[in-house]
Structure 1
Amino acid sequence: MNDCPMCRRWRQEPDLRIVEFEHCYVTLNRDQFFRGYTLVFSKDHVTELFHLDAVTRGAVLEEVNRVAEALARIFNPTKMNYELLGNMVPHMHWHLVPRFVDDPLWPRPIWSEPHDEQPLASEACRERIRLIREALED
């Protein structure tokens, strides 16, 4: 779909690409207020897990799990948050957010209050992506 921001994201933000799996794309979220915040989104424009057949659904969840596990190994968070909302962007996508007891919004949801975005400088962004890619290869 041309009007869907998730359908365009992989193509429009190549500097944030982490990996392409069989069923999903993985990108670093530009705002790194929450260190390691990563997006995993389906290649196909679907809005719900139940729109996928059982085999594909299982494979998608395994891809999400692989990314969450890699983020956990890199950042060692207190808790990994998995957000699958789609209210504002109706394309199946997960916000994987490593959370720490010392983050400013702990233990509240990341959406509980606005914050100033914290984009990484280009080199720091490339380094973070490199770390995640390496963790996914292990």
Structure 2
Amino acid sequence: MSSVPNCPICTKWQDDPDQRVIELTQTKVSLNRDQFFKGYCFVFAKDHVTELFHLDEVLRNQVMAEVNAVAQVLYNLFAPDKINYELLGNMAPHMHWHIVPRFASDPLWPRPHWSEPHQELLLTPQEYRERAAAIKAQLNKEFPWTC
């Protein structure tokens, strides 16, 4: 497994243990530190890769199946009005998705979650672990093939 020492995504799993959700076959899933959008997760490639087209078709399909599984579980757990998917990598050039449950009642609706500053919602370490455990349990229940 390849990693880059100064890449914040490569080191995220070690740096933020309370936010870890689950390690899947091709990706890892972590909660975003800011939980203003309840359930906001990162799904990131285990290997340091910058572009989706760098993956062969089989691996690319496996990665996308895992992204889809996480999105579906967040939808089922939190009942948002919409799931937002974002794959940019300009600031952290390591393939990672922002999977963001969005609600029509949130103050930034319908704009992108990053369109305006907002007050961060930080959880206690225990609250991160509980939220991560709920997502992990649902993934294991709904998508046991990913775990």
TM-score, structure 2 length as denominator? 0.91
User: Are residues 1:129 and 2:132 paired?
Assistant: yes
Q: Describe the superposition over 1:28-60 as per-residue Cα deviations: whole angstroms up to 9, x where unpaired.
A: 111001111000000111111000000000000
> How much is the aligned-residue C-alpha RMSD, in angstroms?
0.8
Task: State how 1:22-101 maps to structure 2 within 5 Å.
Answer: 22-101=25-104
Q: Flag as ranges the 4+ runs of structure 1 deviating above 2 A.
A: none
Query: Deviation per CA, 1:94-117, whole angstroms, max 9, x where unpaired?
Result: 000000000110000011111121
Once the 2 structures are TM-superposed, how far is the Cα of residue 15 of structure 1 from its aligned partner?
A: 1.0
Structure 2 CA distance for aligned equivalents of residues 75 and 44 of structure 1: 29
2:27 paired with 1:12: no
Task: For structure 1, list consecutive stretches of 5 or more residues without a partner in the other structure.
Answer: none
Q: Distance in 2 between matches of 1:66 and 1:60?
A: 10
**Please, which runs of 5 or more residues in structure 2 have no aligned partner?**
142-147
- Aligned partners of 2:126 and 2:10: how far apart in 1? 26
Output the TM-score relative to the length of structure 1: 0.97
Aligned residues: 138
Residue 85 of structure 1 and its aligned partner are, at CA, apart by 0.7
Give the Cα–Cα distance (whole angstroms) in 2 for the partners of residues 125 and 43 of structure 1: 21
Instruction: Quote the sequence identity (%).
Output: 58
Q: Distance in 2 between matches of 1:52 and 1:30?
A: 28
Structure 2 SS opposite 1:135: helix
Range 92-101 or range 12-21, more displaced: 12-21
- CA distance, structure 2, for counterparts of residue 123 and residue 84 of structure 1: 29
Give 1:122 shift. 2.2
- Following TM superposition, by how much is the alpha carbon of 1:123 offset from its aligned partner in structure 2, in angstroms? 2.3
Q: Distance in 1 between matches of 2:125 and 2:14?
A: 18
Instruction: Report the equivalent of 2:112.
Output: 109
